[in-house]
Chain A
């Protein structure tokens, strides 16, 4: 019985200590989590130099400079530009504009542009500038132009715009 009593006392002490330890760990570590970067970067085409704007028409063989503003509360990391066809009308645009789409068609030689870029370290705002020439031999029609950006923590934001490539 003495053993039982002793054990009961011991387990009570262990329990109380555990609760106290857990409590104190939680109270101090909650502070550290407030330093975490919980903010996504932003990306915008909605300014004068932003390119392309919704429903823009781009000509084959021409050279354009694609521009977008990106910013972050902390530090920007990378961005990418993806241009792919929307011949099947899969809807991408989040600019709030409805463009007139051509009839649905199959791709023969669609234009694919996929490139990634890094932003030099230490910047919290940056203007993306990508100069590219639309090739001559590609299918004309509806395309999507999708930008994305990450910050140093790994948060990502994306935006996309409907464009048309014409002869």
Chain B
């Protein structure tokens, strides 16, 4: 407890410092000045909506009239950065001795489909550090590329892939690592669910998201434990402009799983108060795969009409937020609830391969056993104080994740037949509080210091045991320094200290097992699966980086050390994983995972050409790995959590070219290689290693209106993925594949030329190719990826 005492006194000290700074600054802070104006398209003088106007950490977004308001600290002259998905980025310098109104900014259209993924150098996210290698994804990209779940949408970005579970759920994978090695952060608070689980999907509504920042590398400095392979940070949407109202309804239909989806959102603002609301509802049937039969572990299942039985589901989400913007103060409180019910492929889930009396093929819309339900409730608050040279940000949150897994009760081993279908219940509460101070003594220096704290309480229920109930407290204090050496060169250095404390609860089986004693007698005992334990950790992480931004070139070099606290299942599992048909054993002696990574990024942009390369080398001192041993426990193969040294390297290459005003082409390549350098699987790769994959896209943007449509854009994508022969037990090698997708986007100008209805038709897997995704949960049971899917979506503004 010596460590925690030091930490508590340090936190007290830091808190006092921050409070003192706030008070002293509030007393003599200057009023911010206001810049307002209008953004227009230089070709036709029409207003441009959704352009982002950035100055340092302040930003604004133009509304449907093209107007914007930006509040900044007074200064002689400032350089504004104006960007928009469909226009070329513009920099203008304005004199700010007084308030500026009626500023008119003209933008030049561009014709580059994939440029929605802009490598941001000085993005709008306050937490972002310039030399940190990250990718910014905006609302337009999300709308144009929307797939069934958020991570599937983002998997178009080189280096980002996804583990999918059926058609409606997915979780992020960055450069081959996923689960608890990627942090998902929403409005500054880490999303906490059962992300270690193989059949868990991310519980976040992908509608209503305006901006996502993806860090492909170690980011524990900012985000603490788990941000070891990367971060998907969903940043809060921009505040609406004063006295505006905006709303939209989005309708979606899909052919492959007969999905019907509706999402509707509104936002409005008075002078200072603003409100947002959104509801989303989706219902889908079993999805279709281009095969008649699935062969798994020498059993053969015939599929009815290509339907992967019992993979239907529903999702109903609601979100509400209210905020207040004052002169030197901004606060917004978000309430969200995501609720989903998903069926699991009935033939390969649960205790063992079984036939059932359930008539799964009676309807392809119903959800029978096995299935799970999940409800994720969040209440988050973001508050910022804008002072003269300091900006204080706080993020406070409570979230509850309630997940239930239901399957047909069956006897197994010494376990008699349970009386109900509730196999597992996880009920997890997470309380978080973050505070940080951004101090800018002048334009060349920036110092950020902060504290992250989190308390988790995870309860379990049901007849199937996998992880013990536990409570966990963690806290970290960090500081970093960003220094502009010249106009083009920035340096950054940061350090962080974390402390974590676990308390796991004892668990014993609810049924007796037969145990043969040494003296020849037999006992019937309730076996203990977990003992009550207290474990604590501490860790130092850090980051060092440099960036150079020239006229056409950008270079970044970043060196980071990240860590991850072991999870309760890694520490204390001791039971049958019924879904994977194996015996899993934890290890209380596991130390926190530590990872070192060097990242480089070089981009070149001139005229119509843009190329980029981002290689990395990564070394894990003690990667926690679930190792399949050659041994048995009650006739089930024992898998043990062990730690080994792991070397990983790879990277992405990207090129984009504007062939003409109408045509543009993009290509990218991603590659990761992982090798275990010690331990029982020395020489082997890691599980779920993504194969070499490339992506090509050709886009045509109609220069003129076509009938009732304008901004018509047709895109054809080709993904070519190599075979994956680097496997580790119990995986199978996965053959390579080529996949073609088509999409047509357009704006329908029916009644209102300012508020145009957006239409999108998309064909995924055009040729109905049968292929396997090496990183899909269903790959292990030999289920191919979905067949052809035609989706149509309409977004109607109000």
Report A's interface with B, CB cutoff 8 A.
3-4, 7-8, 11-12, 14-15, 18-19, 21-22, 25-26, 29, 32-33, 35-36, 38, 77-82, 84, 88-92, 94, 107, 110, 112, 114-116, 118, 146, 148, 150-156, 158-159
Contact = CB atoms under 8 A, between A and B. Distances in A.
12 contacts: A3-B489, A11-B602, A12-B602, A15-B615, A33-B684, A78-B630, A78-B631, A91-B353, A114-B413, A116-B631, A153-B630, A155-B730
A116 B600 CA distance: 51
B27 interface: no
B488 interface: yes
B633 A116 contact: yes
Contacts of A38: 725, 727, 733
B734 interface: no
Nearest to A115: B635
B413 A112 contact: yes
Task: Identify whether the interface residues of A are mostly helix, strand, loop, or mixed.
Answer: mixed
B489 to A, nearest CB: 6
A148 B550 CA distance: 62
A78 B632 contact: yes
Contacts of A84: 411-413
Interface of B: 297-299, 352-356, 410-414, 417, 485-486, 488-489, 514, 548, 550, 553, 555, 557, 598, 600, 602, 613, 615, 617, 627-637, 647, 649-651, 673, 675, 680-681, 683-685, 725-727, 729-730, 733
A93 B476 CA distance: 54
Nearest to B599: A18
A77 B683 CA distance: 20
Contacts of A114: 413, 634-635
A4 B555 contact: no
Contacts of A110: 411
Given A11-B602, A18-B600, A35-B683, 11 more contacts: A4-B548, A12-B555, A25-B647, A78-B630, A80-B632, A90-B356, A118-B631, A150-B629, A152-B630, A153-B630, A154-B630
Nearest to B639: A154
Nearest to A4: B488
A156 B353 contact: no
A18 to B, nearest CB: 5
A8 B553 CA distance: 9
A155 to B, nearest CB: 5
Nearest to B555: A11
A80 B630 CA distance: 11
A35 B684 CA distance: 9
Contacts of B514: 112
A156 B598 contact: no
B603 to A, nearest CB: 11
Contact of B628 (A14, A21, A94, A156): A156
Question: Which 9 pairs of residues, A with B, have the shortest CB-CB distance?
Answer: A77-B630, A116-B632, A11-B555, A154-B628, A80-B635, A94-B298, A82-B635, A90-B354, A150-B630
Contact of B557 (A11, A151, A155, A156): A11
Given A21-B617, A90-B352, A150-B630, A8 B649 contact: no
A26 B615 contact: no
A154 B354 CA distance: 25
Contacts of A77: 630-631
A112 B675 CA distance: 42
Contact of A15 (B613, B635, B636, B647): B613
Contacts of B628: 154-156
Contacts of B354: 90-91
Given A22-B650, A91-B354, A114-B413, A150 B631 contact: yes
B630 A159 contact: no
A29 B673 contact: yes
Contacts of B602: 11-12, 15
Nearest to B548: A7
B520 to A, nearest CB: 16
B631 A7 contact: no
A120 to B, nearest CB: 13
B636 to A, nearest CB: 8
A24 to B, nearest CB: 11
